[in-house]
Amino acid sequence: MSQSNTPPVEATDRQILELLAKDGRMSYTDLGRATGLSTSAVHQRVKRLEQRGLILGYGATVNYAEIGVPLTAFIAIRPIDPSQKDDCPERLITMPEIESCWSVAGEESYVVKVRTTTPAELEGLLGRIRTAANVSTRTTIVLSTYYENRPVSG
């Protein structure tokens, strides 16, 4: 087993991470109350967690159906010619419908999460993905979302 150069996350920092994962807008004062630290100590710890790359950003949970992109799908991507350069993420990065891209193990090389307005728009996006990256695709359309982006508890 290899040793990591990253120091372990201590219990108080882990608690701060869990609290911010549940509510990214939580004030330093409220974080201090929850952890037993002063506001300034919490502020310093959060800044340190950001600098270490343990906090990557803060965001809002969006109701995509209400803003006009109700169709969510996962597209598994496999290169047509595995001997070609593996630059699929770079080829697809300009497509705004692609929300996330993961490199995966298994039959496919990547899975992307997309959001579109209609099945016809999804069909057009699939064609653009296949052409841009020289890949074959397998698509799963989301029917309902029961929960998404749940914070992980340590």
**What's the confidence (pLDDT) of residue 154?**
59
Average pLDDT, the chain: 92
Q: Which domains does the chain have, with CATH numbers?
A: 11-52 (1.10.10.10), 64-142 (3.30.70.920)
**CA nearest to 50, candidates 13, 91, 1:** 13
C-alpha to C-alpha distance for 112 and 61, rounded to whole angstroms: 19
Give me the phi and psi of 75, to 5 degrees please: -120, 115
C-alpha to C-alpha distance for 62 and 101, rounded to whole angstroms: 19
- pLDDT per residue as tens digits for the range 110-124: 999 999 999 999 999
Average pLDDT of span 43-71: 94
C-alpha to C-alpha distance for 151 and 39, rounded to whole angstroms: 23
DSSP 98: E
**What's the confidence (pLDDT) of residue 2?**
47
- pLDDT per residue as tens digits for the range 5-51: 667 789 999 999 999 988 999 999 999 999 999 999 999 999 999 99
**What's the confidence (pLDDT) of residue 36?**
96
